[in-house]
Structure 1
Amino acid sequence: MFLPIGDAPNPREIPWVTYTLIALNVVVFLGLWPTSARRPRPNDPRALRYLQTIERTHGADYALQAASQLTVYDLIVFEHGFKPRDPELADLFSSMFLHGGLAHLLGNMLFLWIFGNNVEARAGPGVFLLGYLLTGVVAAAGDALLRMGSPLPAVGASGAISGVLGAYYLLFPGNVVRVAVLLFPFVLDVWELRARIVLGFFVLVQNLLPALITAAEGGVSYGAHLGGFLAGLGLAWLGAKLPSRAQDPSAPSLTAYGALARSELARLEPAEVARLAAAAPHPEDAVWVWRRYLSSGADPRRESAALLGLGHALARAGRSLEAYQYAHAAWDQATTLDSRQRAAELMTQLRGSIRVPRRYLG
């Protein structure tokens, strides 16, 4: 068994939205915990609807077994979980804060704690919260697609958290994720793997393949995980395409640079782009210049220098975590010792403003 236990690097800012979401999920679970030990009243109409649904979907024997173990919490989940056959707007959101058990809650909150802070720091608290809820809704649609017409509810934050993972996959390819190798209850080893390897394993091996093999069977909502991940990936891609601030069209450097066609941009040397970026009136304008150059299809041999230029621009704009990511990418793609040394120097400068374990070389 493989279990992520941390990542690097991380922002120093407190991820208030991430922590608030974790707290809300825990509070809801603990608040409803006593109901998992209470039996419903014999005449509770919710119990009758629940058992009738179980009988239709799983048969009379299974329904009898469910009746002998039925709790009030089961009825709360049945009433407020998202049901593809009877979708309700309120259930889309309430289902994100309900969980099937303690292990379900802890697993989801671990993933949100590990991956949420970086995405929140990049997107900003408001956009992060909106994206979390939106990907949760898309995840429910993915679940409905895979469990078409099912009257049974699905609950859990994993769809929305999968959206966080999708955004992380796109935005932080150079990050390292620490993974514990478990033979329960023993930890056999701890590996450090690139984020895209870990998240790619999550998507392909833990979700896509099981979804193709088992379809809607079992207790895992593969459709929600896949839908949420793709939604997070799409939102992150869209956010990366949008400018971080309105550019000043009268700025000479931007006017000259913006007038160039993509083919002309691609022929520029990084030193020429650096001069244009240095003349930009605002640090964010310099970021825009470098981003446009990187997206122009420049010679791959210049990519390391362009990534480093963007890293320096982001550092001057006060966006240390992003700057570190691009400096690490430049270090990773450097083809000369001098290029790698300059990227390493920028990473060293930035270490004081972000949290990076000593053993993390990037």
Structure 2
Amino acid sequence: MVIPVHDVNPVRRTPYVTYALIFANVLVFLYTPGLAGSVAGDSSLSQMCHLQGFLDHWAMVPRELIHDQLPRLVPTGEVGTGLHGTGCVVAPPTWDKSPPLSVFTAMFLHGGWLHLLGNMLFLLIFGNNVEDRMGHVRYALFYVVCGYAASYGFALLNADSGDPLIGASGAIAGVLGAYLVLYPRARVWVLVPFLVFLPLRLPAWLVLGFWFVLQAVYSSGEGVSTAGTVAYAAHVVGFLAGMLIAWPLRPGTPPPPEPRGLLFGRRARARHSW
């Protein structure tokens, strides 16, 4: 898996929406119980009880979205001891929940610092150019639509699942799909893990195309022993939605500047004909 760090594709205007989305995601994460003080999201039992109750309220759950089956009991945030040992105390929820609205709120929730920072890195690198091409308002609507498409697509494929779905990756996958359509030839600096991290500059179609193929393979269950906690199908649906929405903008999109001097991380040599 390659790690993008920068693209050679300048923008004409400040990407205020992209910055605002990053700020909002970080701010929500800092106020998510039990996560901000942990790198990977590991917490004490009490913190996990608070987190589970928080997610039950604000995260998207496929079963709730498709069948409108809201939970009868949710963790209160307290820890108690019962017949099966120590665990979270549960009680009827004291809040009302709208499953369609939970799709939106779930876009700003993350399961740990690594989850958050990975998503924000992709959004920062690729979101500014898509916003530059679409304009601030259309880009904001585009982002939300891709997030909804990804969540509903995942929910339809997992209609009976009671596991919460969180993260901005479905919406960001839409941004990646749009970038691939609009700027396939833009160069992207990436780090490739091979003994050490090798810096290479690759075309966007290769970087994003490879990312999409991985998501598609993993969503089918190939290449991984289990899907784990990553909603690969949401990434696939969000990516395709972004491509479809951005396609009409492709003809009028100015090409990115052609970089000179460096090719695939090394200085290009002049070619001579003898």
Task: Give your verdict on TM over 0.5.
Answer: yes
Counterparts of 1:197-212 in structure 2, within 5 Å, are 197-205=206-214, 207-212=215-220
How many angstroms apart in 2 are the aligned matches of 1:161 and 1:197? 18
**Residue 75 of structure 1 pairs with residue 53 of structure 2:** yes
**Residue 232 of structure 1 pairs with residue 163 of structure 2:** no
How many angstroms apart in 2 are the aligned matches of 1:70 and 1:36? 12
Report the CA distance between 1:93 and its aligned residue: 0.4
Judged with a 3 Å threshold, the aligned counterparts in structure 2 of structure 1 residues 221 and 357 are, in CA distance, closer, same or farther, namely: farther
TM-score by structure 2 length?
A: 0.74
Counterparts of 1:248-267 in structure 2, within 5 Å, are none
Identify the residue that residue 341 of structure 1 maps to in structure 2: none
**Counterpart pick for 1:162 among 170, 173, 178:** 173
Unaligned runs of 5+ in 1: 38-65, 241-290, 292-313, 315-321, 329-355
How many angstroms apart in 1 are the aligned matches of 2:137 and 2:49? 37
Letter in 2 for 1:4: P
Judged with a 3 Å threshold, the aligned counterparts in structure 2 of structure 1 residues 97 and 358 are, in CA distance, closer, same or farther, namely: farther
How many angstroms apart in 2 are the aligned matches of 1:98 and 1:24? 10
How many angstroms apart in 1 are the aligned matches of 2:28 and 2:187? 32
How many angstroms apart in 1 are the aligned matches of 2:247 and 2:5? 26
Identify the residue that residue 147 of structure 1 maps to in structure 2: 158
Task: Select the structure of larger CA radius of gyration.
Answer: 1
Judged with a 3 Å threshold, the aligned counterparts in structure 2 of structure 1 residues 190 and 36 are, in CA distance, closer, same or farther, namely: closer
Question: What is the percentage of aligned positions where both structures have the same residue?
Answer: 40
Judged with a 3 Å threshold, the aligned counterparts in structure 2 of structure 1 residues 13 and 156 are, in CA distance, closer, same or farther, namely: same
Report the CA distance between 1:358 and its aligned residue: 6.3
How many angstroms apart in 1 are the aligned matches of 2:154 and 2:136? 27
Judged with a 3 Å threshold, the aligned counterparts in structure 2 of structure 1 residues 100 and 357 are, in CA distance, closer, same or farther, namely: farther
What SS does the corresponding residue of 1:10 show, helix, strand or coil? coil
Contact 1:36-1:71 within 8 A present in 2 as well:
no
Identify the residue that residue 323 of structure 1 maps to in structure 2: 254
With a CA cutoff of 8 Å and minimum separation of 6, indicate the structure with the bigger relative contact order.
Answer: 2
Judged with a 3 Å threshold, the aligned counterparts in structure 2 of structure 1 residues 34 and 149 are, in CA distance, closer, same or farther, namely: closer
Judged with a 3 Å threshold, the aligned counterparts in structure 2 of structure 1 residues 129 and 192 are, in CA distance, closer, same or farther, namely: same
How big is the alpha-carbon RMSD for the aligned residues of Structure 1 and Structure 2? 2.6
Counterparts of 1:1-362 in structure 2, within 5 Å, are 1-33=1-33, 70-87=48-65, 88-182=99-193, 187-205=196-214, 207-213=215-221, 217-240=227-250, 322-325=253-256, 359=262
Unaligned runs of 5+ in 2: 38-43, 66-98, 268-274
Judged with a 3 Å threshold, the aligned counterparts in structure 2 of structure 1 residues 30 and 187 are, in CA distance, closer, same or farther, namely: farther
Structure with higher strand content:
2
How many angstroms apart in 1 are the aligned matches of 2:122 and 2:35? 26
Pairs aligned (count) = 223
Contact 2:182-2:249 within 8 A present in 1 as well:
no
How many angstroms apart in 1 are the aligned matches of 2:204 and 2:198? 18
Identify the residue that residue 277 of structure 1 maps to in structure 2: none
Structure with higher helix content:
1
What SS does the corresponding residue of 2:220 show, helix, strand or coil? helix
Judged with a 3 Å threshold, the aligned counterparts in structure 2 of structure 1 residues 110 and 36 are, in CA distance, closer, same or farther, namely: closer
What SS does the corresponding residue of 1:86 show, helix, strand or coil? helix
TM-score by structure 1 length?
A: 0.57
